[in-house]
A = this chain, B = another copy of it.
Amino acid sequence: MSDTPNTTEHRYDALHLITDEVLARYANTPDPRLRELMLSLIKHIHSFAKEVKLTSEEWAFAMNFLEQTGQWCSPGRNEFMIFSDALGLSMLTVTQDYPRSQHATEPTLVGPFLLENAPEFAMGEDISAGAAGTPMYAQGQILDMHGQPVAHAVIDVWHSDDRGLYDVQDGIEEKGPWARAQLTTGADGRYSFWSVLPVDYPVPQDGTAIQMLQATTGRSWRPAHLHFRIQAPGQRPLITHIFDRNSKNLDSDAVFGVRPSLIADFKPQTPGQAPDGKRMDRDFFTLDYNFIMTDALA
């Protein structure tokens, strides 16, 4: 055995000294906000490990699980976001981050399937691009906090088909995007599009997040919804869903995204004239929903 003089700057082989030593090191982080984030993160990670007396076997499992999670990521799917959603972190962040105006549309989580550069459509067009499902006509208006229409609002909309799948889960590389679009409002702030009715679906069945949910809450379903991201000059970006009131899973959303104000009626319609004048020879659904944005400076 070698001699063992105490040559190190700090002794941190005692459990209660490790956290102090790590915090002291990161206290030199130059950027103040990054320093604040790192010190709090270290404090809470260490508190967690100490509170549960994390074992080496559990640590090794976690390291392997994180590596596997990384391998499930692909363009349009971030598996880490599903964990963040399923652990309530996403809704916590959204809720504390947005200044809440009394009448503004409530935000909800973005989810793992947003893609930038979605295909552009004109108002009233069919954005389904062949997605399977019952036709749905959605319309409404983008308004500001003062009730005025928001012109030049860029609306991203994306949603599942009637199998509960998104384009990124089913061959977007070969087939191209479907049930995904970007629309831009005119002076009246109005939007409208045809697509297919979204349905309830479970968290992706092939990744690591579903493994966690099956072993814990046992709840992996999301209620049927449309995703919206709305961006406009002078307005705070709004990311939200509109949920179908007929969903059986409104009370048990796997990712805690439901808010009562975001539940709307997707109304069944029999064959006949649609709101835009189109003649429909089969059943379809209609949705009317207005969005109220918040001033960027509010």
- A146: Cβ under 8 A from any B Cβ: no
Interface string of A14-29 (1 = CB under 8 A from B): 1100110110011011
Interface string of A257-284 (1 = CB under 8 A from B): 0111101110000000000000000000
Query: Given that A217-B29, A251-B8, A263-B2 are known contacts, is A21 also in contact with B52, CB under 8 Å in the complex?
Result: no
Query: Which residues in B have their C-beta under 8 angstroms from that of A178?
Result: none
A70 B66 Cβ-Cβ under 8 A: yes
A73 B67 Cβ-Cβ under 8 A: yes
A11 B71 Cβ-Cβ under 8 A: no
Query: Which residues in B have their C-beta under 8 angstroms from that of A59?
Result: 84, 89-90, 93, 97
How far, in angstroms, from A70 to B43 measured CA to CA in the complex?
24
- Say how many copies of this protein the assembly contains: 2
How far, in angstroms, from A2 to B263 measured CA to CA in the complex?
7
- A164: Cβ under 8 A from any B Cβ: no
B92 A13 Cβ-Cβ under 8 A: no
Closest chain-B Cβ to A236's Cβ sits at a distance in Å of 10
Residues facing B in A204-250 (CB within 8 A) are 215-219, 245, 250
- A55: Cβ under 8 A from any B Cβ: yes
Q: A4: which of B12, B19, B261 is its contact (CB, 8 Å)?
A: B261
Closest to A21 in B: B256
Closest chain-B Cβ to A76's Cβ sits at a distance in Å of 12
Query: Which residues in B have their C-beta under 8 angstroms from that of A21?
Result: 88, 256
Closest to A108 in B: B13
Closest chain-B Cβ to A237's Cβ sits at a distance in Å of 9
Interface string of A166-208 (1 = CB under 8 A from B): 0000000000000000000000000000000000000000000
How far, in angstroms, from A148 to B34 measured CA to CA in the complex?
51
B48 A44 Cβ-Cβ under 8 A: yes
B70 A29 Cβ-Cβ under 8 A: no
Q: A92: which of B35, B50, B261 is its contact (CB, 8 Å)?
A: B50
A81 B63 Cβ-Cβ under 8 A: yes
B73 A5 Cβ-Cβ under 8 A: no
Closest chain-B Cβ to A59's Cβ sits at a distance in Å of 5
